[in-house]
Chains A and B, each alone.
Chain A
């Protein structure tokens, strides 16, 4: 495989040691040397960078939303001739990019990988849309895989099993029976298609999307530890030093993700790189203990940031400032003023953000830890927003309600995966708008993709391209039959019921002028401000943003618990004893009747003692 694996390993180890004491720029240049030394591939440019940031956002209901985002870029900067995507030779050397992820991408031909662990439900009604792209309860895994050798199936299996080992999660249960291939939802999030070369159209490129979710996977510290290990500074320095599992898992919502995708580094996409984004989103219930909505970094995390990660190119803490009435400042942010404040969005959606650049102030360990707190002077102002929400429920069948509170029609894609043991009846599919049955479903459902389930091998998939009317509640319902499972197919906690995963509504929301978008991975680049001015350029260039610029947001419904007919598992014993008794009874008498020979016996008289017809009973 590799020509000089040992040497390169050694070299990278040395480089890492070097990198910790030198600036990241130096590390990058050294890695360039490493590539150059091999001299097999003409390297154009190989930037490698790590960005860390923490976004804090007070929510409408008084909770505090914290979003950690760590981005590692690794250059895939070969020319078009030599580039072969994730399988590129860049994975012969690891500097900032985690080796475990790199090797997984390489061995399973993965172009794009999205893995999210979530504990809890995102309350769209109270919290708006999340900054993280995926918030479905449980584990969600999707990957675009190179299929030029037609091994995507085997690779997917390998990928789930390897990730399962890497993150100490039951990802290996994402097997064929729950893996699907969405046709409309979960499109590429990469900024270019690695196989779209000049001569081949992207349509023909042999790529396969695989998607699977485990709605009842519990997420805890054993998943967090391997996640932290992927970071260049671990949790020893920088923003990641705030990650204390005791506090993170004492929140209302916890979500952590790993996203890998190819991105462009310039407008024309001549410089390309692979981006690894690691996020942790938590929602703290600050008022839980004493009813006070004040919060501070040390209060939330019980840890402090003493310095920025030395390997990070940028290290920012961003606070979304609460919207208050202009006449009175109702809160105190300390330290204030931060290094910079910006206003994003326009008019009603204006959002003021404060940016603290940790590298500027806390580049060395001597300084005091970074403190941040927000105290309300009076009571916290209440604000109400309506959001685009959906929730699923079981009603003898299944129904999904999608609320569009916008004043104009919206396009959306609904994806629902149902396990094979729920037999869907497509003819019962019905659409209701604002409580009234819709005669012509085509008004709402523009396109429909339905994959029939196959027993014990694949799930049913329902994908709908929707046009949601303005200010409406659209309800989709479909009936199903529950299947009698074999008794070995029941899980150990059979009486709990079966978890049915969420449905996902994907909707493009137009990005307002200058606004930082929701959900998508793209907006993270805006935050990163890799040249520290991206936020500003966004601000400055707000007039030039095209009208159709959109953020794809994904809204997840709640998961369901469906109880199937459950046998009494103490019954087998009773059945066995009963059956044995009955068999013994029947067998005994049957055997007796079949083997015994019955003959008529003439009644013997005194004269006829010798009797011809003696009974012969064998």
Chain B
């Protein structure tokens, strides 16, 4: 009888196991749905909190080198050259330092402007404002931090060269040259970057804050500007360059918030800074870009340089009051408007739930590949009671999965190297290199799939032979696709959750794109279905996404590729390495998976 009770216990356990195995895949889909809904709920008013200034010390209460020299500032220029795999850029940065009276010069603030605005025209107003503020600051006796004025050349590489030299990382190599700075100050605590193109007035002011690889400045930086713009110098402030009309309508409000948040997540995921402020963040300097929006017919009051000047002066006074580096407020947040933020505690769960969905799916597949449900009839054919064995008799062959994944990562790494290396062959373009990479990758898929099919046939024939000799004693190993899918899903969970801590938006975008295809797709006995699945996976592969982006922004695919390459080579963004070395291998493995033999 003891045996009986044990059996019943085992039965219960098995029932639970069956339940788990049956429900886990469904549960994972439920989790995906929860995660989607949660993500969509983030922009909603009730999920975001009203921003508040956290740092108490900050309360807002209150031939260029010659021009700088004339004001009485220490001015100098810096030459730089940067050679990438596609071109070579050089330029001259001009900078000046206002030595705060009676200060020890250990701390500094930066006011910078690029020569060329976002709008690709001369940043006239911003540079005029810098000179004017230089004159104003020179008269002030109350500054405790030095103020550095920088007018940077080029796109972003100018300021990057300046920052490198300022932090003593200047070097003279074949592809880098940054002149050593002759005028210096202390540790930079915060920076404002100005982008006010043209010479006219503006309707509103946009705040750009996303940095390289989705780094964000302390939220107090944004809070300070919005507080000042609400009081001392009334200016309409918005996030980025999109103006949203005020509305009482709940749904419209939600849609606007969603739009803003998606905008932010787009910039963050791309990892390319939305302005020169993004470069400061690498050096732990909190910085934002202020951008002048001139939109015809917009109802808000127009403002000119005078009001802007008082706004920036107030901002500098506030920053000057800082006793410490900004650290009180959030470093991880999502903004759905200048006044509303969602903190990390609220936005992280959906990504983690997404990761859990991947893991549950992987676990259930791993369970499936054991002999518990599949071999049930074989063992239990004689008796009524099924016995759950604590181990699996059926072998899980990792050979194919391991080789496919390894080769996929090798192919990903190879295409990354291919794209970033200049071979000196005449007529080589990034697009050609990408095509070569695609060729390498498709070769991998082809060889993996064909060899798997061949192997499957061989094993099948072997089994038939073996089956003739001894029936039923050896169990067929789990299907290759199950093992490979398990690995792909587990890796996806790892990637999405790890990346979410580094660059939330990138993690969310990757997670959203891959979650359904990776979870739902499996080889089908219908070739057409398998082919369709493979086609969808190809569509979400890096080249496919590149084409999609190109058609969405109506650009040339080569431009998209150049933009990604430039981000990596000039600014050191992670987008290209992440896509090539992590995303693409997973995608390749998934393509191989759907084309594998069914059982």
B324 and A495 within 8 A (CB): yes
Q: Does A137 contact B (CB under 8 A)?
A: yes
Contact of B187 among A252, A254, A563, A566 (CB under 8 A): A563
B2 neighbours in A (Cβ, 8 Å): 602-603
Look across to chain B and name the residue whose beta carbon is closest to the beta carbon of A290: B139
- Given A61-B72, A493-B323, A561-B187, A603 contacting B1 (CB threshold 8 A): yes
A494 and B324 within 8 A (CB): yes
Q: Mark B154-170, 1 if CB is under 8 A from A, else 0.
A: 00000000000001110
Q: Does A98 contact B (CB under 8 A)?
A: no
A560 and B106 within 8 A (CB): yes
Q: Does B295 contact A (CB under 8 A)?
A: no
B1 neighbours in A (Cβ, 8 Å): 603, 605
- Given A494-B324, A496-B324, A559 contacting B102 (CB threshold 8 A): no
- Given A287-B72, A289-B139, A252 contacting B324 (CB threshold 8 A): no
B104 and A137 within 8 A (CB): yes
Q: Does A234 contact B (CB under 8 A)?
A: no
Most buried by A among B1, B105, B106, B168: B106
B5 and A252 within 8 A (CB): no
Q: Mark B95-113, 1 if CB is under 8 A from A, else 0.
A: 0000101111111000000
Contact of A496 among B5, B74, B323 (CB under 8 A): B323
Interface residues of B in 268-313 (CB under 8 A from A): 284
Contact of B327 among A253, A393, A399, A495 (CB under 8 A): A495
A288 and B139 within 8 A (CB): yes
Contact of A559 among B74, B101, B105, B138 (CB under 8 A): B105
B103 and A121 within 8 A (CB): yes
A499 and B101 within 8 A (CB): no
A561 and B323 within 8 A (CB): no
B105 neighbours in A (Cβ, 8 Å): 121, 137, 558-559
B169 neighbours in A (Cβ, 8 Å): 395
B186 and A558 within 8 A (CB): yes
Q: Mark A280-293, 1 if CB is under 8 A from B, else 0.
A: 00000101110000
Instruction: Tell me the smallest distance from the CB of A449 to a CB of chain B, in Å.
Output: 26
B138 neighbours in A (Cβ, 8 Å): 288
Interface residues of A in 238-288 (CB under 8 A from B): 249-254, 285, 287-288
**Chain B interface residue count, Cβ-Cβ cutoff 8 angstroms:** 27
Interface residues of B in 324-361 (CB under 8 A from A): 324-325, 327
Bound state CA distance, A378 and B187, in angstroms? Answer: 40
Q: Does A138 contact B (CB under 8 A)?
A: yes
Bound state CA distance, A4 and B72, in angstroms? Answer: 62
B102 and A249 within 8 A (CB): yes
Instruction: Tell me the smallest distance from the CB of B133 to a CB of chain A, in Å.
Output: 15
Instruction: Tell me the smallest distance from the CB of A566 to a CB of chain B, in Å.
Output: 8
B101 and A120 within 8 A (CB): yes
Interface residues of B in 65-111 (CB under 8 A from A): 72, 74, 99, 101-107
Look across to chain B and name the residue whose beta carbon is closest to the beta carbon of A499: B106
A605 neighbours in B (Cβ, 8 Å): 1
Q: Does A119 contact B (CB under 8 A)?
A: yes
A459 neighbours in B (Cβ, 8 Å): none
Look across to chain A and name the residue whose beta carbon is closest to the beta carbon of B57: A493
A396 neighbours in B (Cβ, 8 Å): 168
Instruction: Tell me the smallest distance from the CB of A597 to a CB of chain B, in Å.
Output: 21
**Chain A interface residue count, Cβ-Cβ cutoff 8 angstroms:** 43
Interface residues of A in 3-44 (CB under 8 A from B): none
A254 and B102 within 8 A (CB): yes
Bound state CA distance, A285 and B143, in angstroms? Answer: 14
Instruction: Tell me the smallest distance from the CB of B29 to a CB of chain A, in Å.
Output: 32
B325 and A497 within 8 A (CB): yes
Q: Does B266 contact A (CB under 8 A)?
A: no
A331 neighbours in B (Cβ, 8 Å): none
- Given A493-B324, A496-B323, A561 contacting B106 (CB threshold 8 A): yes
Q: Does B396 contact A (CB under 8 A)?
A: no
A395 and B101 within 8 A (CB): no
Bound state CA distance, A388 and B109, in angstroms? Answer: 28
A603 neighbours in B (Cβ, 8 Å): 1-2, 5
Instruction: Tell me the smallest distance from the CB of A151 to a CB of chain B, in Å.
Output: 34
Contact of B101 among A62, A251, A493, A561 (CB under 8 A): A251
Contact of B104 among A138, A251, A394, A602 (CB under 8 A): A138
Interface residues of B in 494-510 (CB under 8 A from A): none
Q: Does B433 contact A (CB under 8 A)?
A: no
Q: Does A215 contact B (CB under 8 A)?
A: yes
Q: Does B469 contact A (CB under 8 A)?
A: no
Q: Does A391 contact B (CB under 8 A)?
A: yes
Bound state CA distance, A141 and B506, in angstroms? Answer: 55
Instruction: Tell me the smallest distance from the CB of B1 to a CB of chain A, in Å.
Output: 6
Instruction: Tell me the smallest distance from the CB of B462 to a CB of chain A, in Å.
Output: 47
Instruction: Tell me the smallest distance from the CB of B193 to a CB of chain A, in Å.
Output: 22
Interface residues of B in 1-36 (CB under 8 A from A): 1-2, 5
Instruction: Tell me the smallest distance from the CB of A572 to a CB of chain B, in Å.
Output: 15
Bound state CA distance, A395 and B325, in angstroms? Answer: 19
Q: Does B184 contact A (CB under 8 A)?
A: yes
A559 neighbours in B (Cβ, 8 Å): 104-106
Q: Does B473 contact A (CB under 8 A)?
A: no
Bound state CA distance, A216 and B144, in angstroms? Answer: 12
Q: Does B141 contact A (CB under 8 A)?
A: yes
B104 and A250 within 8 A (CB): no
Bound state CA distance, A274 and B168, in angstroms? Answer: 48
Bound state CA distance, A215 and B186, in angstroms? Answer: 14
Q: Mark A348-364, 1 if CB is under 8 A from B, else 0.
A: 00000000000000000
A121 neighbours in B (Cβ, 8 Å): 99, 103-105
Instruction: Tell me the smallest distance from the CB of B285 to a CB of chain A, in Å.
Output: 12
Q: Does A537 contact B (CB under 8 A)?
A: no
Bound state CA distance, A121 and B183, in angstroms? Answer: 14
Most buried by A among B167, B168, B284: B168
Instruction: Tell me the smallest distance from the CB of A87 to a CB of chain B, in Å.
Output: 37
Instruction: Tell me the smallest distance from the CB of A279 to a CB of chain B, in Å.
Output: 17
Bound state CA distance, A125 and B97, in angstroms? Answer: 14
Q: Does A100 contact B (CB under 8 A)?
A: no
Bound state CA distance, A62 and B103, in angstroms? Answer: 19
A393 neighbours in B (Cβ, 8 Å): 168, 184
Contact residues of B with A, CB < 8 Å? 1-2, 5, 72, 74, 99, 101-107, 138-139, 141, 167-169, 184, 186-187, 284, 323-325, 327
A-B contact pairs, 21 of them (CB 8 A): A61-B72, A119-B102, A121-B99, A251-B102, A253-B101, A254-B102, A394-B168, A399-B168, A493-B323, A495-B324, A495-B325, A495-B327, A496-B323, A496-B324, A558-B104, A558-B105, A560-B186, A561-B187, A566-B327, A568-B327, A605-B1
Contact residues of A with B, CB < 8 Å? 61-62, 119-121, 123, 125, 137-138, 215-216, 249-254, 285, 287-289, 391, 393-396, 399, 493-497, 499, 558-561, 563, 566, 568, 602-603, 605
Closest 4 CB pairs of A and B: A395-B168, A495-B324, A120-B102, A561-B106
